[in-house]
A and B are shown apart, each in its own frame.
Chain A
Amino acid sequence: MAVEPDLKIELGKQGVFVTTISEIYNWGRKNSVWPMQFGLACCAIEMIATTMARYDLARFGAEVFRPSPRQADLMIISGTITKKMAPQVVRLYNQMAEPKYVIAMGACAISGGPFKQGYNVLKGIDRYIPVDVHIPGCPPRPEALIHAFMMLQARIDEQPLTGEDRPRHLNAEAQSLFPIPAQGAHDLEPPVNRLVWPLPAPTASCKSAEKCG
Chain B
Amino acid sequence: MKTAEEILAAIKSALPDAGLELVLNSSPCAQHSLRVAAKDMVAVASFLRADPVLALDFCSNATGVDWPGKEISEKVKVTKVVEGEQTVVEETIKRVEPGYLEAVYHLFSMKNGPTDPGGPVVLRMRTANRTDQVELPSLTPVWRSAEFQEREIFDLFGIVFTGHPDLRRILMWDGFEDHPMRRDYVDPDDFEYEPTPHDEVLKRAEAHKTGAVA
Contacts and interface: CB of A to CB of B under 8 A. Distances in A.
A213 B195 contact: yes
Contacts of B175: 183-185
Nearest to A202: B193
B197 to A, nearest CB: 5
Interface residues of B, number: 24
A211 B177 contact: no
A199 B209 CA distance: 12
A82 B4 CA distance: 41
Interface-centre pick from A117, A120, A212, A213 (highest chain B CB count, 10 A): A213
B193 A119 contact: no
A183 B193 contact: no
Contacts of B201: 117, 213
A130 to B, nearest CB: 17
Interface size range of chain A in the complex: 20 to 34
Contact of A119 (B187, B192, B208): B187
A30 interface: no
B178 interface: yes
A52 to B, nearest CB: 32
A131 interface: no
Contact of A213 (B171, B173, B188, B193): B193
Contacts of A200: 192-193
Contact of A211 (B172, B202, B208): B202
Given A183-B175, A185-B175, A120 B180 contact: yes
A188 B190 CA distance: 9
A119 B180 contact: yes
B132 interface: no
Contacts of B188: 119, 186-187, 191
A203 B212 CA distance: 13
A202 B175 CA distance: 33
A213 B197 contact: yes
A192 interface: yes
A212 B185 CA distance: 26
Contact of B178 (A83, A186, A192, A202): A186
